[in-house]
Amino acid sequence: MATMTSKLHSSVASAHRFDEAALLRYAVSNVEGFPGAPNRLVVSQFGHGHSNPTFLLEVSHDTGDSTRAPSKRYVLRKKPPGALLESAHAVEREFQVLKALGDHTNVPVPKVFCLCNDPSVIGTSFYIMEYLEGRIFVDSKLPGVAPDTRKAIYRASAKALASLHSVNVDAIGLERFGRRENYCRRQVERWERQYLSSTGEGKPYRNPKMLELASWLKKHVPVEDSSRTATTGLVHGDFRIDNLVFHPVEDRVIGILDWELSTLGNQMCDVAYSSLPYVVDINSSEDGIHGGFELTGRPEGIPSLPDYIAEYCFASGKPWPVSDWKFYLAFSLFRGASIYAGVYHRWTLGNASGGERAQLSGKRANVLIDTAWMVINTQSLLPNKPPFGHEISRDDPAKLLPTEQQGKFVPSQRVLHLKRKLLHFMENHIYPMEKEFSELAQSSLRWTIHPEESRLKELAKKEGLWNLFIPLDSAARARKLLFAGNDYNALGVDSNMLGAGLSNLEYGYLCEIMGHSVWAPQIFNCAAPDTGNMEVLLRYGTKDQQKEWLIPLLEGRIRSGFAMTEPKVASSDATNIECSINRRGDSYIINGRKWWTSGAMDPRCKLLIVMGKTDFTAAKHEQQSMILVDIDTPGVRVERPLMVFGFDDAPHGHAEVSFENVEVPVENILLGEGRGFEIAQGRLGPGRLHHCMRLIGAAERGMQLMVERALKRRAFGKRIAEHGSFLSDLAKCRIELEQTRLLVLEAADQLDRYGNKKARGILAMAKVAAPNMALRVLDMAMQVHGAAGLSSDTVLSHLWATARTLRIADGPDEVHLGTIAKLEIQRAKL
Ligand SMILES: Cc1cc2nc3c(=O)[nH]c(=O)nc-3n(C[C@H](O)[C@H](O)[C@H](O)COP(=O)(O)OP(=O)(O)OC[C@H]3O[C@@H](n4cnc5c(N)ncnc54)[C@H](O)[C@@H]3O)c2cc1C
């Protein structure tokens, strides 16, 4: 039978009591939505197998009129009291992994609210997380459970394990969560050390067979362990059925618990560990039979071991693990034995959680050691191939299909939440203001800022819709460089300024929505060229450069321009650039003429990133450098605004700018002389993809307006929507839009996974496809609107003009096509 999580707690063990009043004070100010004072806190302790004591917090709020609002439940997890084994009980790491998974993936984990490292609150570090109401199957034999449900429960746990093993750790900020290579080797050494420190003289009995086991394991470490392979990634470390919370009635996992041992490494260890019920019954106590299902018989409905592993391999795409299975199983038993020995040692010292269960741990350690030797001496454990036909799940193929919460391009809950907020903001604040913004931009006050823009920016900041474009890795660099020690306040900067920690793919879903309106991106501080310029400063800026320029840009106090293109030379080939940046003493002197410097007309524009040559004689791609120039420096002259099909894009504009003996300090050079191309590559990858994402949004807006118009407007006796030619054109637009969206999302995903250089082919494809698709859709939308579509009375002509520029402004199509073709030919030559 399953036990509901609400039935797994009892009163707090005396050794684990803590200062509840201090906790309450802390939680009220650190957990969003925690009931405010006055309130009542009831603490109880989960008794089921936790090496880090885990508590249920039930907090209710006095309403003041003798009633009490229903209590809210949270779970607190802390380190145990007393002296601890080195590196064990790291609740900080548990918090880190849960936060990353909860924020960026669909892996089922409880939401975490706060981490407290201050021991003065309740004596040790702790964190507070969501309470999950659901079923826990304490016994892996699933007694009292119907055969069908048993099958579904095992299948669901294999899928849950596959889901966590499919996580792209590099994209969710966990790339340094552990060393990936040589995991097993290090683990064998680590658990051997741990075993030695838990047993021996003055401590519980040390089993010599355990030491022999360690030697055997060291000799049989799989070859795949030494490098990054298909099985390297996030490892849970304690993945077993009783660490999973299942939905109260549906047979699916809603929470994977107990992440204490999680790290990066060889995921086959998790798979083997989760298979231990097949080889040993660790729940059988005292002198009972300790064999697992393979020996004692499987309870009806529980799949065979090969079926269980095949289910996992199919869901995760991992190879069939036959070759080293013996090692992985023996290692899992060895590690389990070391953990049990540690728990038993703690029990003898009086500070193990888990009550009576802890007392049995010493015996269990020895059972596992014996079982490991039995496994080693067994001929075959897994068949050479997965069982026939398991891929097409024999009984219910539909259950194997991804659900609506799975799939490569299904945004995480967090992104969906941001998306809802963004859509709401667009409806309530952006669309209603579009007409007024446009009117001001066409008036004699065109180069001024509408006061509503500043108000909306503040609102976007408050709503957490600010700087969402900043990728996780760039934010991490700036956080380290600029805000070491998390001291945001010393600089007077709000920590939200570094965005929401999204990957490029995650941002893609949001950036698309901003693309619905030409006015939206700047309200969220996500407009070009500021985004690209901030990216440059985040990635390549020194601490001083970041302080001077990045912070005001992050805060939206200033704007910036990127000055590369020159009227005199074909600038799609940046090696042609003629602007000179010459060193003179402690200064650089800049001379040249640029045009199409977007944003330079904006009254708030303060910074120009200028690309020029510091050495005309160096190798072709080492002549260029980038330098930071204050637009008010003597010699910088904004000559004139340029027009795009009659739009000057006021108040930001695109300017022709001349530089005449402009002197800037040497510290303003970015990254160093000759590094301009390198920076351009870093800048243009994500930045250009943002354009593509916005173009998807612009096309969606076109589709929406086109359909609305076609449903309202009548011509030749019927609505335009009833004319056959419209219907087929509309359908073709939708097909093209969806194709392009998938391409752009795939490009974002590859950018996250492989980086700019490796993803350059698909990035180039997205850059060609997106503007061309948007142009066709918007052109069709304008056509359906008749003459109105070409006027400025709808947003269509402006969206179209912007889309058209992106066949050139972001590098001409021909250049991107050249990249794609070159890669294609290279592939053919391989
Ligand atoms: C609205 C807008 C905003 C812009 N914003 C900025 C900005 O903020 N900062 C900035 O520095 N620049 C900006 N630009 C300029 C833009 O980056 C350049 O226009 C672009 O790089 C092309 O350079 P070019 O105009 O000199 O064209 P050229 O290099 O002269 O190219 C002209 C044409 O030659 C052909 N061609 C070029 N290369 C190849 C090839 N390899 N194979 C085949 N045909 C080829 C293509 O048809 C191309 O369109 C902006 C442009 C626009 C329109």
User: For a pocket test of ligand 1, which of 564, 565, 819 has the largest count of ligand atoms closer than 8 A to its C-beta?
Assistant: 565
Residue 592: Cβ-neighbour burial (10 angstroms; 0-12, 13-18, 19+): buried
Q: Which two tokens stand for residue 253?
A: 């996992």
Q: State the DSSP H helix or E strand holding residue 76, giving kind and residue range, or none if neither.
A: strand 72-78
Q: State the DSSP H helix or E strand holding residue 244, giving kind and residue range, or none if neither.
A: strand 244-246
Nearest to 94 by CA among 117, 64, 72: 117
pTM, rounded to two decimals:
0.65
Distances (CA, A) of 371 to 216, 374, 751: 14, 5, 46
State the pLDDT at residue 86.
57
φ, ψ for residue 538 (rounded to 5)?
A: -65, -40
Q: Which atom of ligand 1 is the closest one to the Cα of 561?
A: 8
Nearest CA to ligand 1 atom 43: 814
Tell me how far the alpha carbon of residue 572 lies from the centroid of ligand 1, in angstroms.
5
Q: Which atom of ligand 1 is the closest one to the Cα of 811?
A: 21
Tell me how far the alpha carbon of residue 659 lies from the centroid of ligand 1, in angstroms.
21
Nearest CA to ligand 1 atom 32: 570
Nearest to 680 by CA among 691, 695, 670, 666: 670
Counting as low any pLDDT under 70, the low residues of the chain are 38, 48-50, 62-69, 82-88, 283-290, 351-356, 388-406, 483-495, 684-687, 830
CA distance 613 to 708: 52
Own/partner pairs for 386-391, CB < 8 Å, 24+ apart?
386/306, 386/309, 386/310, 386/313, 386/314, 386/320, 387/304, 387/306, 387/307, 387/310, 390/307, 390/310, 390/311, 390/314, 391/310, 391/314
State the pLDDT at residue 399.
46
Tell me how far the alpha carbon of residue 812 lies from the centroid of ligand 1, in angstroms.
6
State the pLDDT at residue 171.
85
Q: State the DSSP H helix or E strand holding residue 129, giving kind and residue range, or none if neither.
A: strand 126-130
- Dump pLDDT digits (tens) for 2-57: 788 877 888 888 888 899 999 999 998 899 888 877 678 899 998 755 578 899 99
State the pLDDT at residue 400.
47
Q: Which atom of ligand 1 is the closest one to the Cα of 529?
A: 8
- Ligand 1 surroundings by CB, under 6 angstroms: 529, 562-565, 570-572, 596-598, 644, 654, 805, 808-809, 811-812, 814-815, 818
State the pLDDT at residue 503.
86
Nearest CA to ligand 1 atom 42: 814
CA distance 361 to 366: 9
- Dump pLDDT digits (tens) for 366-397: 999 999 999 999 877 788 888 765 543 434 44
CA distance 232 to 706: 49
